[in-house]
């Protein structure tokens, strides 16, 4: 990895890195014998926000978890196709899954800060977990920068030592975003990050997503059409017939998907006529 | 512009007592459950009371020296449980030295590393280990384990004895110096309490929340990194509770100790040397030949053991149940 040295961690603001594109090619997925995704092609452009929309059970979350090799943690899970990060297949047998996950971070539906760690240590958890040592001043700087990126710094700067679990739900979710950003991923995956949050916290998280886009490639699963409309540049509409694997009905620029959908089902869904 | 209007004045409604009439089924169930719960407490209380009454003549005669006296000579009027307490402590210590690391590792393996296909069998196996009667462990310890541990004890004594005096024995060359020691009995007891320690720890580890586990893995953690940041912090109280519960079992273990040790009523700082004693084993070996104040003394020793295990188990229960991880764990 090139991020092991301190220099990269000290200077990233001065040397903005280009975010990486993520491309899924012919991805299918199974749980045991049950196929949940069929032949999904999707290019997630570098530095943009791609929203995955569609009714429950159409394989959006499975697809998202395939993008950073979380899918294989489920016993019996398998897949076909490939996922290219900057042109390299993250399922390359030569690569360890942990190396892909270090470059492709994830924020979950339910905020999951490490409850026994302080806010400060939660932000640095990713570095500690991947065995990267940093100097005190470097890490304090990184904590502040990550919390600022996640829009949480002003609220917690005076209580960095309190446990992560003492924050409110919305703050915990932004702490998880800060934690994911602290390892400077190329891609950030978000699985319905606002579904458990109140409207104010949701707005904060959306602002955060808009502000980090450009620095990282964001892929977000959401059930909230307005949210998809507000935060994303691209949209992919997933659908699955009863008992059949999910697939992408339509994808494109967000404004096209919402204002000029090509497929009638897309039009029905984004206008709230089903799902 | 808003115009403020005083709300109409109303007197507050009187507070009501909220009551609900339980159904006959509920009443029956509550009465039955409550009396079952109370009767266990009553039985515990009666056992304690019985021990106290039985032990009173001995406690009254010996006073504080019942705790501090090393010898057990009821005929001569000098007897106390100091040697028993010391031996119980030593054996409990050795038991934990074996059971805690092995149990911790086994629990982590079963909950985190074992393939799903063998996980269920391993859990059953540990439960079966706990179900094996201790007389079986006693025979195994006496006829198999001891012979092998003699060499280990001798090796430890010969190599570390010169540096650490407490590891020396009187005649280091003779294997019989090492038989029936606190070391051997302690290790055998450690094997007996191992399933207890393992199953408590495993149960707590298995409850570490999936959300936090995935959070760590998604950050690029290795499996061990995830265990270190999520599973072990989450299971900390289960680890402590498992250790204490194991200790509680170890202190009370009777037949294994009785089979292995040769009774001795002295203060020894040489646990590898033959000879030790514990409260439980002492009671088992003496009760049939004791009467009068000697029997009363045994009941007194039993009372002390009863209180010890009660306190340790209660503390273990509190530690486990008060934590985030242990609230759903039964011990």
Q: Quote the minimal CA–CA distance from A154 to chain B in Å.
A: 24
Q: How far apart are alpha carbons A44 and A53 in whole angstroms? A: 14
- What b-and-e string marks burial along A76-103, b requiring 16 or more CB atoms within 10 Å of the CB? ebebebebbbeeebbbeeeeebbbbbbb
Chain B partners within 8 Å of A106 (Cβ): 214, 218
Q: Does residue A45 contact residue A233 with C-beta atoms inside 8 Å?
A: yes
| Minimum-distance CB partner of B229 among A73, A114, A183 | A114
DSSP β-ladder status, A34-44 and A49-53: unpaired
Q: State the first-to-last Cα distance of chain B, in angstroms, to the nearest integer.
A: 66
Ordered by where they begin, the domains of chain B are 84-291+312-324 (1.10.3720.10)
Beta carbons of B215 and A113 less than 8 Å apart: yes
Residues of chain B with pLDDT under 50: 326-328, 331
Closest in B116, B211, B218 to A101, CB measured: B218
Residues in a beta bridge with A82: A25
**Collapsing DSSP states into helix, strand and coil, what is residue B157?**
helix
Q: What is the pLDDT of residue B142?
A: 92
What value does the mean pLDDT take over residues A228-249? Answer: 92
What string of DSSP letters covers A117-161? SBHHHHHHHHHHHTT----HHHHHHHHHHHHHHTT-HHHHTT-TT
Mean pLDDT (chain A) is 88
Between chain A and chain B, the number of residue pairs with CB atoms below 8 A apart is 69
Asked whether residue A13 carries a pLDDT value surpassing 80, the answer given is no
Residue of A nearest to B227 (CA): A129
pLDDT at A8: 42
Strands B72-73 and B78-79, bridge-based pairing = antiparallel
Beta strands in chain B (DSSP E): 72-73, 78-79
Asked whether B191 and B126 are in contact (CB, 8 A), the reply is no
Mean pLDDT of A198-204: 88
B229 CB neighbours in chain A (<8 A) are 114, 117, 125, 128-129
Provide the ipTM: 0.86
The tokens for B176 are 């019989």
Element (H, E) at B223: helix B223-226
**End-to-end distance of chain A based on CA atoms, in angstroms?**
43
CB contact under 8 A, B218 and A98: no
Residue B1 pLDDT: 57
- The Cα–Cα gap between A94 and A8 comes to 25
Residues 6+ apart with CB under 8 A from A254: A51, A228, A229, A232, A233, A234, A235
Check residue A4 and give its pLDDT: 43
Residues B199, A44: Cα–Cα separation, whole Å: 47
Q: What is the pLDDT of residue B25?
A: 92
Q: What are the distances in angstroms from CA A149 to CA A119, A154, A200, B27, B81? A: 15, 11, 18, 59, 67
Please give the Cα distance from B62 to B300 (Å, whole number): 11
Give CA–CA dist B257/B280, Å, rounded: 8
Which of these ranges, A98-112, A250-264, B100-114, B311-325, has the smallest mean pLDDT?
Answer: B311-325
- The beta-carbon neighbor of A106 closest among B116, B218, B221 is B218
Nearest CA among A128, A125, A130, A127 for reference residue A114 = A125
Question: Tokens 């119980």 correspond to what residue?
Answer: B88
Question: Is the CB of B220 less than 8 angstroms away from the CB of A75?
Answer: no
Q: Which of B211, B219, B226 to mutate to test binding with chain A, by most A CBs within 10 Å of its CB?
A: B219
Distance CA B145, CA B257 (A): 13
User: Among A40-49, A259-268, B6-15, B185-194, where is mean pLDDT lowest?
Assistant: B6-15
Would you call A112 an interface residue with chain B, using a CB distance cutoff of 8 Å? Answer: yes
| Inter-chain CB proximity B220 and A126 less than 8 Å | yes
In chain B, whose CA is at the least distance from the CA of A185? B219
> Does position A7 have pLDDT exceeding 60, yes or no?
no
pLDDT at B2: 62
Contacts of A21 (CB under 8 A, 6+ apart): A43, A44, A45, A46, A85, A86, A217
Q: Are B202 and B123 in contact (CB under 8 A)?
A: yes
pLDDT in tens, A210-233: 999 988 999 999 998 999 999 999
Residue B114: CB atoms within 10 A of its CB come to 16
Among A99, A108, A112, the strongest candidate for a mutation testing the B interface, having the largest count of B CBs within 10 A, is: A112
d(CA A225, CA A232): 10
Instruction: Tell me whether residues A73 and B209 touch, CB distance under 8 A.
Output: no
């Amino acid at each position: 990895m090139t991020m092991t040295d301190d220099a990269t961690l000290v200077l990233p603001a001065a040397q903005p890195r280009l975010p990486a594109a993520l491309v899924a090619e012919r991805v299918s997925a199974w749980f045991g014998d049950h196929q949940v995704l069929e032949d999904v092609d999707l290019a997630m452009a570098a530095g943009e926000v791609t929203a995955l929309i569609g009714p429950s059970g159409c394989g959006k979350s499975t697809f998202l978890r395939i993008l950073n090799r979380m899918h294989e943690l489920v016993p019996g899970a398998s897949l076909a196709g490939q996922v290219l990060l900057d042109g390299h297949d993250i399922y390359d047998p030569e690569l360890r899954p942990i190396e892909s996950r270090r470059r492709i971070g994830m924020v979950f539906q339910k905020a999951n800060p490490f409850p026994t760690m302080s806010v400060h240590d939660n932000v640095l958890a990713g570095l500690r977990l991947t065995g990267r040592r940093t100097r005190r001043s470097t890490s304090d700087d990184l904590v502040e920068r990550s919390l600022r990126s996640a829009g949480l710094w002003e609220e917690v700067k005076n209580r960095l030592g309190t446990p992560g679990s003492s924050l409110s739900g919305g703050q915990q979710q932004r702490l998880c975003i800060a934690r994911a950003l602290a390892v400077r991923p190329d891609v950030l995956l978000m699985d319905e990050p606002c579904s458990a949050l109140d409207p104010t916290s949701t707005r904060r998280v959306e602002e955060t997503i808009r502000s980090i886009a450009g620095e990282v490639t964001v892929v977000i699963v959401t059930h909230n059409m307005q949210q998809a409309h507000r935060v994303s540049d691209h949209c992919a509409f997933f659908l699955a017939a009863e008992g059949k694997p999910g697939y992408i009905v339509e994808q494109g620029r967000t404004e096209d998907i919402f204002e000029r959908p090509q497929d009638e089902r897309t039009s029905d869904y984004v206008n709230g006529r089903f799902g | 512009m808003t115009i403020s209007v005083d709300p109409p004045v109303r007197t507050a409604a009187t507070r009501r007592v909220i009551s609900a009439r339980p159904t006959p089924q509920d009443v029956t169930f509550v009465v039955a459950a409550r009396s079952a719960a109370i009767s266990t407490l009553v039985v515990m209380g009666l056992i304690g009371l019985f021990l106290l009454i039985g032990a009173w003549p001995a406690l009254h005669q010996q006073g504080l020296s019942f705790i501090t006296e090393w010898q057990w000579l009821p005929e001569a009027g000098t007897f106390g449980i100091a040697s028993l307490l010391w031996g119980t402590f030593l054996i409990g210590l050795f038991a934990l030295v074996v059971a805690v690391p092995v149990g911790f590792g086994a629990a982590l393996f079963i909950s985190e590393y074992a393939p799903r296909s063998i996980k269920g069998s391993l859990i059953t196996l540990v439960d079966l280990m706990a179900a094996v009667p201790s007389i079986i462990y006693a025979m195994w310890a006496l006829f198999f384990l001891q012979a092998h541990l003699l060499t280990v004890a001798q090796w430890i004594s010969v190599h570390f004895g010169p540096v650490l005096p407490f590891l020396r024995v009187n005649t280091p060359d003779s294997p019989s110096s090492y038989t029936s020691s606190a070391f051997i009995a302690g290790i055998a007891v450690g094997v007996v309490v191992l399933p207890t320690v393992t199953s408590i720890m495993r149960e707590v580890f298995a409850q570490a929340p999936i959300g936090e586990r995935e959070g760590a893995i998604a950050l690029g953690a290795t499996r061990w990194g995830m265990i270190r940041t999520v599973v072990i912090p989450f299971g900390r109280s289960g680890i402590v509770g498992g250790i204490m519960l194991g200790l509680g079992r170890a202190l009370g273990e009777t037949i294994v100790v009785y089979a292995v040790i040769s009774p001795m009523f002295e203060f020894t700082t040489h646990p590898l040397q033959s000879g030790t004693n514990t409260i439980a084993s002492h009671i088992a070996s003496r009760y049939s030949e004791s009467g009068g104040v000697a029997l009363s003394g045994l009941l007194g020793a039993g009372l002390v053991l009863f209180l010890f295990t009660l306190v340790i188990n209660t503390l273990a229960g509190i530690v486990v149940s008060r934590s985030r991880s242990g609230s759903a764990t039964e011990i």
